[in-house]
Amino acid sequence: MKQFVSLFLKPIAFFVHRFGESARRIWAHARFAAAIKGSLDSSVVVLGVPEIRGTGNLKVGSNLFLYRELYLETQEEGEIAIGDDVVMSRGVHIVSFNRIEIGDGTMIGEYTSIRDANHRFGGGVAIRTSGHDSKPIRIGKNVWIGRCSTILPGITIGDEAVVGANAVVTKDVAPGALVAGVPAKPIERKGP
C-alpha cells in the first residue's frame, strides 16, 4: 500500500514543485479578476490572492506587481484606481469610501495604510455605527511610499515624491518632495 501511495504521489509532487509557483500565480490572478468590477490585464503579476472587501469597485492598470497579503476595500461610492507599472508590497491596506487614485509607476512599501475615510465619533453614538467622513486621496506618478507609512483622507502626493518609512502623511506633499516623520514634514534631499 505504501509503495502504491508513493508511486501515485511522486508525479503530483514533481508537478507541484515544477509548476506550483506558476499555478499559484495563475490562480491568484483569476481569483483577483473575479473579485473586482473592472477588468484585470494579463500583464498583472499577482503573487497571492488579495483580500477584496465591499463593492469590488477597482480599476486596475497593466504591468502591476502585487505581493501577498494585500487588503483592498471599497464601500459605498468608494473606488480604488491603480495606474500602470505600480508595485504594492506585502500587507498594503487600502480602504476607500470616496476615491483613491494611485499614479503610474508608484511603489508602495510593506504594510502601508491608505484610507480616505475616518469614523465619526462623539455625541453618545457608538463609533462602529456612527458612519464615516471621507475625502479623496490622489497619489501621483512615480511616487515612492516607504514601509509602514500611513496616508490620511484628503491628501494629494505630487509626482515623483518620496514618503519615508513609518511616516504619517497629514498634509499634501509637493511634487518631487521628500517627507518623513510623524506627522510627515519635508526634509532635504541629498544626492543627485
**What CA–CA distance (Å, rounded) separates 68 from 46?**
8
One of 17, 29, 93, 119 is an active-site residue; which one? Answer: 119
Give strand pairing partners of 26: none
**Taking CA 100 as the corner, what is the angle to CA 179 and CA 55, rounded to the nearest 5 degrees?**
145
Check if 17 is active-site. no
Q: Show the CA angle centred on residue 126, arms to residues 135 and 75, nearest 5°.
A: 35
Residues 167 and 146: beta-carbon distance below 8 Å: yes
Taking the C-alpha atoms of residue 92 and residue 142, their distance in angstroms, rounded to an integer, is: 17
Q: Are 100 and 80 in contact (CB under 8 A)?
A: yes
Query: What 3-state class would DSSP assign to 29?
Result: helix
Catalytic residues: 119
